[in-house]
Amino acid sequence: MPLFNKSKVQSLFISIILSFLLITSLLVYNYFSDDDIKHLLVLVIPLFVFSFLIVYIYLEFYVFKKIKNLYRDLIPENNEEENSLVSTSMDQLIDDLKKFSKESQTEIKSMQEKENFRRDFIGNLAHELKTPLFTSQSYILTLVDGALKDKNVNLKYLKIAEKAIERLIFIVKDLDLITKLESEGLKLDKSKFNIISLINNVFEMLELQASKKKITLALGSKNIRVNVNGDEEKIHQVLTNLIENSVKYGRESGTTEVSVENIVENKVIVRITDNGNGIQKANLKRLFERFFRIENSGSRSTGGSGLGLAIVKHIIDAHNEKIYVESDYGVGSEFSFTLEKSN
């Protein structure tokens, strides 16, 4: 226990005041003669000590005990370790209560944020599932009601319903994947591979989709081989999601360029840059949330599960790497991520 804590200082201050008031009042009302006053002054010290002890014992063993019991009531019953660490110092107790209050406020804020996220997630999930479900239902009911016999529309309606069901399956598969990523963790099968070759493979896969919007897929790296360490299949998914998004939300006759650059001796950074519409700064922080959609982006009409960027972030995090996004609204965007370089 410290030599001077708050309870001792307060007791000292109160004792001085009490002693002063008592002696002053006695002198004012002439209870003592001049000779008695000399004896009274001799008694000042023991009077002061006595009053100090009374006040200190009251503060330390009564007031403190009440606060200590309150403190123990606030701490969870199963937290025996923290209960055993409750100090007998008033100062330490006050510090502990302040710390507990701060931690409680942080926990409450975290719970509120999680509840808001849960509410948004359920609302977004319901919206994502509602569109393909209602689309397929409406066209199938139309066929059941007689359109099935109409050769001019039956095949068309079936194909539309099929596309809606395909999107529904796509959403469910991605949702199942991201749930496994978050609950079980992602198991990586790391190996050495050529990231340039992987980018070219993704370009070939998305070439038809890009040509429909007259978007040019360009490789900005001069090297034909850059070896990296990672899970090739998972990095292929990362590249596919990022490049496909760039094409999907890019401008007509635009460009999507992918480059690989050395940043430090054992790291490379892969950049996916486009000259599309860009993203407003207010939306950048939420881009990697599940089902987050940018308003007025037309993203729902382009299909997809709304989970692509969330999956990308999980894969990059599993590699202990970083992913970045920069965007100028109306100019374009750049997504980039780091990888471990291999010789």
For the chain, what are the domain ranges?
Answer: 6-88, 117-184, 191-341
Q: What is the DSSP string of 118-142?
A: HHHHHHHHHHHHHHHHHHHHHHHHH
Q: What is the dihedral angle through the alpha carbons of 112, 118, 119, 120, rounded to the nearest 10 degrees? A: 110
Distance CA 263, CA 337 (A): 11
CB distance 15 to 51 below 8 Å: yes
What contacts 88, CB < 8 A, 6 or more positions away? 1, 64
Angstrom distance (rounded) from CA 121 to CA 127: 10
Q: Higher-confidence residue: 81 or 140?
A: 140
pLDDT, position 334: 94
pLDDT band at 44 (very low <50, low <70, confident <90, very high): low
Asked if the model's pLDDT at residue 91 lies above 70, the reply is no
Give the pLDDT band (50/70/90) at residue 160. confident
pTM, two decimals, is 0.60
Answer yes or no: is pLDDT of 154 > 80: yes
Check: CB of residue 253 under 8 Å from CB of residue 278. no
Of the ranges 28-32, 110-114, 174-178, 321-325, the best mean pLDDT one: 321-325
Residue 230: what pLDDT? Answer: 95
Cα 41 to Cα 49: distance, rounded to the nearest angstrom = 14
Report pLDDT digits (tens) over 251-303.
888 999 999 998 888 999 999 999 988 888 888 888 888 777 665 444 545 55
Higher pLDDT, 66 or 41: 66
Of 133 and 72, the one with more pLDDT: 133
Confidence (pLDDT) at 4: 47
pLDDT band of residue 229 (cuts 50, 70, 90) is: very high
pLDDT at 214 over 90: yes
Exposed / middle / buried, residue 164 (Cβ in 10 Å: 0-12, 13-18, 19+): buried
Tell me the mean pLDDT in the region 207-235: 91
Answer yes or no: is pLDDT of 108 > 50: yes
Of 35-49, 143-157, 231-245, the least confident: 35-49
What's the mean pLDDT in 304-312?
78
Q: What is the mean pLDDT of residues 192-210?
A: 94
Which DSSP symbol is given to 149?
Answer: G
> 119-143: per-residue pLDDT in tens?
766 776 777 778 788 888 888 898 8
- CATH number of this structure's domain 191-341: 3.30.565.10
Q: Quote the Cα angle for 131-183-313, to 5°.
A: 70
Give the count of alpha carbons within 13 A of 65, CB side only: 6
Q: Which CATH class is domain 117-184?
A: mainly alpha
pLDDT at residue 196 greater than cutoff 90: yes
Contact 100, 71 (CB under 8 A): yes
What are the φ and ψ backbone dihedral angles of 262, each rounded to 5 degrees?
-80, 135
CA distance 59 to 96: 18
Q: Is the pLDDT of residue 52 over 80?
A: no
pLDDT category at 201 given cuts 50, 70, 90 is very high
pLDDT at residue 222, as a whole number: 78
* pLDDT score of 76 more than 60: no
